[in-house]
DNA sequence: GCCCAGGTATAAA
DNA sequence: TTTATACATGGG
């Protein structure tokens, strides 16, 4: 991997197995916006970015090389060998191999844990366009406090609001869940960084102490927010896909990279709905 | 109007 | 432990 400043921005070369649309539009994050040009605009950890990719490499606009090294390199998970992982997963099952080959540029982002927790609380019994809308309104609601509508509010900021303060979000009953999550995180009752290092059963149990966090949301937070790649979110789509793809298996064990396998299968099944009836 | 959306809390069997 | 239902919004 190599970096150089160009007139268009910071150009990073030597990146393989990475696709912006496959990574940013596969249901793991909700705050990246696709521009007309095909570039994506978004932010994380207080930094904004416009990013695009072509045959020359990955182009970061509005980022210094220090930001790339200290943040975006890790955010986009560019140091993990996805080619190797995909190969290992492909050896487990031919259909998994096909699903992986369909979107080989998917990577699991290193998103902000609290934002991810809130995002997947909002995601329950909800559709992606509306999830995005609620999160956008949440960032706007706290714009004055955070200093930018690009930033996600902290747990402390959210924790000192009341449910009626969140009415502008139009999040329905999920507003109360968001407050409970914020209060537990801000109060130290839930320590996301500690959960990140906990054995999976304990990590799941900790997260599920938050109101509105059940097995599915907990698994999503572990995978997408805490980068526990062995986590395996199981929703109705995945259940159907698994029943179709692996009818003989009752218990599935894809090993330490199950979450990546899940993401390949989820993406594949969403874009080939006719195969999963 | 009706159905559904990357579910969960709650009560009842 | 498993199953049924309500839950608020809004887009198709």
Q: Residue A178 maps to which CATH number?
A: 1.10.340.30
User: Tokens 């943040």 identify what position?
Assistant: A71
User: Tokens 């029943």 identify what position?
Assistant: A243
Residue A261 lies in a domain: no
Contact A57, A11 (CB under 8 A): yes
**A235, closest nucleotide (Cα–C1'):** B6
Q: How far is the CA of A124 from the C1' of B10 (A)?
A: 17
Compute φ and ψ for A42, nearest 5 degrees: -165, -170
Considering the domain architecture, whether residues A132 and A176 belong to the same structural domain is answered as yes
A235 touches strand B (CB under 7 A): yes
| Residue that is last in its domain, among A19, A54, A79 | A79
A111 touches strand B (CB under 7 A): no
Distance CA A238, CA A259 (A): 12
Residue A271, pLDDT score: 84
> C-alpha distances in angstroms, A86 versus A97, A126, A141, A142, A265?
8, 30, 41, 40, 12
**A213, closest nucleotide (Cα–C1'):** B8
**A174, closest nucleotide (Cα–C1'):** C8
- Which residues constitute the domain of residue A70? 2-79
**CA proximity to A262, closest of A271, A237, A274:** A237
Q: What is the CA radius of gyration of chain A?
A: 19
Q: How many structural domains does chain A have?
A: 2
Contact A101, A270 (CB under 8 A): no
A216 touches strand B (CB under 7 A): yes
What six digits make up the tokens of A64? 């210094």
Q: Which of residues 116-155 of A touch strand C (CB under 7 A)?
A: 125-127, 129-130, 133
Residue A212 lies in a domain: yes
**A214, closest nucleotide (Cα–C1'):** B8
Q: The whole model's pTM is what?
A: 0.97
Distance CA A77, CA A245 (A): 28
**CA proximity to A122, closest of A189, A75, A169:** A169
Chain B nucleotides near the protein (CB, 7 A): 4-9
**CA proximity to A217, closest of A267, A43, A206, A155:** A206
Residue A249, pLDDT score: 64
Q: Which residues contact A160 (CB under 8 A, 6 or more apart)?
A: none
| Residue that is last in its domain, among A225, A257, A272 | A225
Beta strands A33-34; A40-44: pairing state = antiparallel
Buried b (16+ CB within 10 A) or exposed e, A206-236: bbeebebbeebbbbbbbbbbbbbbebbbebe
Residue A269, pLDDT score: 86
Residue A252, pLDDT score: 67
CATH of the domain at A24: 3.30.310.260
Residue A37, pLDDT score: 95
Q: How far is the CA of A249 from the C1' of B1 (A)?
A: 42
Q: What is the DSSP letter of A153?
A: P
Q: Which of residues 248-267 of A touch strand B (CB under 7 A)?
A: 262-263, 266
- Identify the bridge partners of residue A57 per DSSP, sorted by sequence position: A54
Q: Give the residues of chain A that fall short of pLDDT 50.
A: none
A172 touches strand C (CB under 7 A): yes
Residue A265 lies in a domain: no
Considering the domain architecture, whether residues A125 and A211 belong to the same structural domain is answered as yes
Residue A238, pLDDT score: 81
């Amino acid at each position: 991997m190599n970096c150089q400043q160009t007139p268009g921005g910071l150009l990073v070369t030597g990146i393989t197995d990475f696709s912006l649309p496959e990574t940013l539009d596969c249901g793991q994050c909700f705050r990246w916006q696709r521009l007309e040009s095909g570039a994506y605009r978004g932010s994380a950890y207080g930094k904004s970015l416009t990013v695009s990719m072509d045959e020359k490499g990955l182009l970061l606009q509005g980022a210094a090389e220090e930001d790339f090294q200290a943040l975006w390199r890790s955010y986009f998970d560019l140091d993990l060998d996805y080619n190797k992982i995909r190969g290992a997963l492909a050896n487990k099952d031919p259909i998994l191999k096909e699903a992986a080959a369909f979107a080989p540029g998917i990577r699991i982002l290193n998103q902000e844990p609290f934002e991810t927790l809130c995002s997947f609380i909002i995601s329950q019994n909800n559709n992606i366009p509306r999830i995005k809308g609620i999160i956008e309104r949440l960032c706007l609601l706290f714009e004055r406090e955070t200093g930018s509508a690009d930033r996600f509010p902290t747990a402390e900021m959210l924790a000192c609001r009341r449910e009626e303060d969140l009415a502008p979000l139009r999040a329905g009953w999920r507003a109360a869940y968001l407050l409970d999550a914020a209060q537990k995180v801000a109060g130290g009752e839930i320590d996301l960084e500690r959960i990140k290092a906990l054995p999976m059963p304990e990590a799941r149990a900790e997260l599920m102490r938050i109101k509105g966090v059940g097995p599915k949301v907990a698994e999503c937070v572990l995978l997408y927010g805490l980068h526990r790649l062995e986590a395996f979110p199981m929703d109705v789509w995945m259940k159907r896909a698994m029943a179709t793809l692996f009818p003989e298996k009752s218990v599935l064990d894809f090993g330490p990279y199950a979450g990546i396998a899940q993401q390949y299968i989820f993406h594949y099944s969403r874009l080939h709905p006719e195969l999963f009836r």
